[in-house]
Structure 1
Amino acid sequence: MPSQDVKAKIEVIMSDASLSVDDKVRRLERMYQDVREEMRAATESSMVTDDDIGDELQDIEKALDKLNHHPDSIEDSGAATL
């Protein structure tokens, strides 16, 4: 997913007053998982480039941080894997 698309989707989620904080967190976490899956595919295949994937993850993490949500990650307690 192009980085501009991710930023636009984040902006839509963050500015949607009809969503609760929990709803925003759930949507952002789902986006995060989708981008992680894309990153995983990029590391396993030469057909996918991961040019902006790290930036996309950072953008989502910043949005989650603004919501004061810090998701637990397997990387926090285990071996670093994609």
Structure 2
Amino acid sequence: NMRANIVMEVERFEAAANFVRQGMGYAVIPRAYYQSFNTNSLNAIQIRPNMQRTIYINLSRKRQYTQEVLDLVDLCQYYWNRL
């Protein structure tokens, strides 16, 4: 039963990657972030089983949306619910 000793958290992948490059820690990041930056000096280890995250679409209750916006929301829900 291990627990992480989290000393610092950063919001930006670039900052996390720089800390890792300098030997100051490690980062748990989505694959898309890792693949989108220059990560030649970093190693990646895939975590199994795959981690999951919950995402949200936020809409104001006080606003009336066009049918196009509602269709986009439906499309997003359809896409993410298939995964």
Report which of the two structures shows the higher radius of gyration computed on alpha carbons. Answer: 2
Q: With the length of structure 2 as denominator, give the TM-score of the two structures.
A: 0.30
Task: State the structure with bigger RCO (CA 8 A, min sep 6), 1 or 2.
Answer: 1
